[in-house]
Chain A
């Protein structure tokens, strides 16, 4: 029988002054949850795994009900068959690598030992069976943690900020490795992160959480293209955000940037914010064109592979950011700084 892959989690939880009300439904193989720290994204994962109590709602994995407040179902985490990878991996420090992987298999039989050893081999950790977790590098610990989860054949895998404990070089490598390691896993994997890059690379479907609520969800690429909400735009890495006022069907005023945008498309009634990504500005020399702002540079930051220009805006706390890389920078070096920066209609984000 083929099981339909589907995660359904409607979770309500009040704790202290925090209110979590999230609704996640997805059949995608790789699901991402993006949010700032304290937004409730990790708590959502913990509720699904059953290690954090839920006040009310319904949680279901592939048609199997794990929690239902109406039907008074609340499965123990032991019975949920949900794999959870913790931020710090939570390897058992007094157990050897092989014992860690066997921990979820019950009795330490010969068969279970072989199973665990096979899994370690798959993750290229053979030869480390008798080492203690403390003797491994961060990347190796992560592989053992994943092996320990995979060997129990969970129906869903949850990854809680899997790369946050790694330094930046290892983080890049492990992101690629993680995708490889999960390749032959048939179930769904949900990853929680505050990093848009990690989730852009990882997830097919993306949910954005803010203050305990899902503010935007959909196909990852389209969420990045059209964040719809100002907060969602910020979380997907939009550096320039400003309150805006819709004037009519085709014009929006952005007071902070000192500009009135003329657009061909229809401006939705609900537009109250405008966003523009720092890499999307076009330099203009000489006369101002349509949708241009004066390029009044107040600071330049030199980074290894790009230059960040900060442009004066009327909101003194939030200067506009213009990030320039490669070829574009060479043009600037030749022609000098532009007089104006043009905003391309297609790149202008109209937000709520």
Chain B
């Protein structure tokens, strides 16, 4: 126990802050992008829906290294788009914190999108029609009726997105690398210290991740559980 406290005192805490920051920013981006995509997709007909849904869900199903490969193809400073970003806007993605955010967003976005879509599909279409006949604008109907009514589903999507974004490893290591204090996330730090045989530090970070992951699930259950009081046990 004393060893643990000693470890915590001398530890470089930067991976935690980088992971948390990445998780928060990626979640905010995924939140709006996911709601927007979900809203667009449910309005499509069956065929277009299946295709779009496949594309949007792909990053979740693919190995993260495959996503990382594509991200490198796009953002590498030796390729057209990467050169364009660098020369025109002075934006670098590879080996930067921005790379962490982009990798985490791409991987975690499908969780937000799918949860939002499932929640939207459960909504009684008459609520939307009622809003229209009452003269409410489409934007107002979406933010004041649809999103609150889909609240529990969206909340659990948001938390899962955050947990996934925070723990992202594969795509992040390829796109952003593991630069201590800059792109070195908790997951990457665990892999690194284990390679060095430092199981104590790895164990410490594992506990930190476990606590955060458990909290995330606990919060989801608290949010969605409220609406499930009426479900009969069997």
| A88 touching B124, Cβ below 8 Å | yes
| A88 touching B126, Cβ below 8 Å | yes
Bound complex: CA of A77 vs CA of B129, how far in Å?
A: 8
Interface presence of A179 (CB below 8 A) = no
* CB-CB under 8 A for A51 and B129, given A78-B136, A94-B151, A152-B134: yes
| A84 touching B129, Cβ below 8 Å | yes
Which residues of B have CB within 8 Å of A77?
129, 132-133
Which residues of A have CB within 8 Å of B130?
84, 86, 90-92
Which residue of chain A has its CB nearest to the CB of B131? A103
* CB-CB under 8 A for A94 and B133, given A88-B124, A103-B144: no
Interface presence of A258 (CB below 8 A) = no
Interface presence of B135 (CB below 8 A) = yes
Interface presence of B149 (CB below 8 A) = yes
Bound complex: CA of A78 vs CA of B135, how far in Å?
A: 4
Bound complex: CA of A149 vs CA of B127, how far in Å?
A: 14
Nearest-neighbour CB distance to chain A for B149, whole angstroms, equals: 6
Instruction: Summarize B's interface: helix, strand, loop or mixed.
Output: helix
Bound complex: CA of A106 vs CA of B151, how far in Å?
A: 23
Interface presence of B137 (CB below 8 A) = yes
| A94 touching B149, Cβ below 8 Å | yes
Interface presence of A148 (CB below 8 A) = yes
Bound complex: CA of A88 vs CA of B123, how far in Å?
A: 13
Nearest-neighbour CB distance to chain B for A307, whole angstroms, equals: 42
Query: Which one of B124, B126, B134 lies within 8 Å of A103 (CB-CB)?
Result: B134
| B149 touching A78, Cβ below 8 Å | no
Which residues of B have CB within 8 Å of A83?
133
| B134 touching A148, Cβ below 8 Å | yes
Which residues of B have CB within 8 Å of A78?
132-133, 135-137
| B149 touching A76, Cβ below 8 Å | no
Which residue of chain B has its CB nearest to the CB of A82? B133
Nearest-neighbour CB distance to chain A for B63, whole angstroms, equals: 39
Bound complex: CA of A93 vs CA of B149, how far in Å?
A: 7
- Chain A 68-86 near chain B by CB (<8 Å), digits 1 or 0: 0000000011111111101
Which residues of B have CB within 8 Å of A146?
none
| B148 touching A152, Cβ below 8 Å | no
- Chain A 30-71 near chain B by CB (<8 Å), digits 1 or 0: 000000000000000010011100000000000000000000
Which residue of chain B has its CB nearest to the CB of A80? B133
| A94 touching B148, Cβ below 8 Å | yes
Interface presence of B145 (CB below 8 A) = yes
Which residue of chain A has its CB nearest to the CB of B123? A93
Which residue of chain B has its CB nearest to the CB of A151? B134
| Most chain A CB neighbours (cut-off 10 Å) among B130, B132, B145, B148 | B130
Bound complex: CA of A148 vs CA of B136, how far in Å?
A: 12
| A152 touching B129, Cβ below 8 Å | no
Bound complex: CA of A300 vs CA of B134, how far in Å?
A: 51
- Chain B 174-188 near chain A by CB (<8 Å), digits 1 or 0: 000000000000000
Which residues of A have CB within 8 Å of B151?
94
Bound complex: CA of A77 vs CA of B132, how far in Å?
A: 6
Query: Which one of A46, A80, A104 lies within 8 Å of B136 (CB-CB)?
Result: A104
- Chain B 110-145 near chain A by CB (<8 Å), digits 1 or 0: 000000000000001011011111111100000011
| B132 touching A51, Cβ below 8 Å | yes
Which residues of A have CB within 8 Å of B126?
86-88, 90
Bound complex: CA of A77 vs CA of B128, how far in Å?
A: 11
Nearest-neighbour CB distance to chain B for A81, whole angstroms, equals: 8
Bound complex: CA of A91 vs CA of B124, how far in Å?
A: 10
- Chain B 131-168 near chain A by CB (<8 Å), digits 1 or 0: 11111110000001100110100000000000000000
| Most chain A CB neighbours (cut-off 10 Å) among B126, B144, B145 | B126
Query: Which one of B132, B134, B144 lies within 8 Å of A76 (CB-CB)?
Result: B132
Which residues of A have CB within 8 Å of B124?
88, 90
Nearest-neighbour CB distance to chain B for A170, whole angstroms, equals: 20
Nearest-neighbour CB distance to chain A for B38, whole angstroms, equals: 18
Interface residue ranges, A against B (CB under 8 Å): 46, 49-51, 76-84, 86-88, 90-95, 103-104, 106, 148-149, 152
Q: List 28 A-B contacts (CB under 8 A).
A: A49-B129, A50-B132, A51-B132, A51-B133, A77-B133, A78-B132, A78-B133, A78-B135, A78-B136, A81-B135, A82-B133, A83-B133, A84-B130, A86-B126, A87-B126, A88-B126, A90-B124, A90-B129, A91-B130, A92-B131, A92-B148, A93-B127, A94-B148, A94-B151, A104-B135, A104-B136, A152-B134, A152-B135
Apart from A83-B133, A94-B151, A104-B134, what 9 extra A-B contacts exist at CB < 8 Å? A77-B133, A80-B133, A81-B135, A82-B133, A92-B127, A94-B149, A95-B148, A104-B136, A149-B134
Interface residue ranges, B against A (CB under 8 Å): 124, 126-127, 129-137, 144-145, 148-149, 151
CB-based closest 7 A-B pairs: A104-B134, A90-B130, A94-B148, A90-B126, A77-B132, A84-B133, A51-B129
